[in-house]
Amino acid sequence: MLRSRQNLRSGWSFKQHDDDDPGAWLPVETVPSQVHIDLLANKRIPDPFVGINEQSVQWVAEKSWQYKLRLPAPAIHCPENTSTDLVFEGLDTFATVTLNGGEILKSENMHISNRVNVNKTWNSDSENVLEILFDSALLRGRDIVKQHGEHQFFARQTEEGRIPVRKAQYNWGWDWGPILMTAGPWRPVYFEQYTARLDDVRAVYDLAADLKSCSGRLMARVSGASEQTDHLVFLLSRNGKVVFKQTCGVGAGGWSKPLVR
């Protein structure tokens, strides 16, 4: 299962989404990052952790922010029989991702990772443009509360708009920290290429009453060029001793499901 990875750390720029000035785009030192770090690095805001500067940066939360990366050809080559994925380990929070102008992902949870196959949308012989638009989580949270008047959103501290948003709740402020509504690619972004990969492994089992044995089913799913992977070998060990080994074919959907007895 050949695999390679290329991190997309450098070359990014960002801007306030509604600023159409050609000079609005500012450099991003590195990704992962978030908007306060990048605004501070470009001297657009004071350090929010000094004095009462926190109050003067609250406008950041009410804006949407756009990040962009231009990749000249042939930055990434997509060979045949190889899957090429864009992986976003964390996008904070309401993010719309486009590649060469076409939407490839929407995410509304900063705590999860996302993987998108780009074999059909990637330009192998010309420049590629990756853009991520981050909507204001502050305003989106307030809108969700208004849209669901039948639900009682109870917030002990700060405002109700934080409750339905899958985002670090302390961004709305806490007794130990400032109100800083972050936005941006806060975890790594990278390309991953592979012929096949295991993207889901699980076990369903029944444990005997005497706790000395169990039975059930192991499950693993292969993604990518799964036609090149016709079987998997399952191996279980305990204290260095192999207690179960079985070869099982790969079936519909890339799943392999051996029984354990």
**CB–CB of 105/97 below 8 Å?**
yes
User: 252 in helix, strand or coil?
Assistant: helix
Give the residue extent of every domain in the chain: 3-193, 196-260
Nearest residue to 259 (alpha-carbon basis) of 208, 205, 217:
217
Q: In whole angstroms, what is the distance from residue 13 CA to residue 29 CA?
A: 9
- pLDDT (0 to 100) of residue 2: 64
Nearest residue to 140 (alpha-carbon basis) of 166, 178, 112:
166
Residue 201: pLDDT band with limits 50, 70, 90: very high
Q: What is the pLDDT of residues 157-184, one digit of tens each?
A: 789 999 999 999 999 998 888 999 999 9
CATH number of 3-193: 2.60.120.260
Give the pTM. 0.89
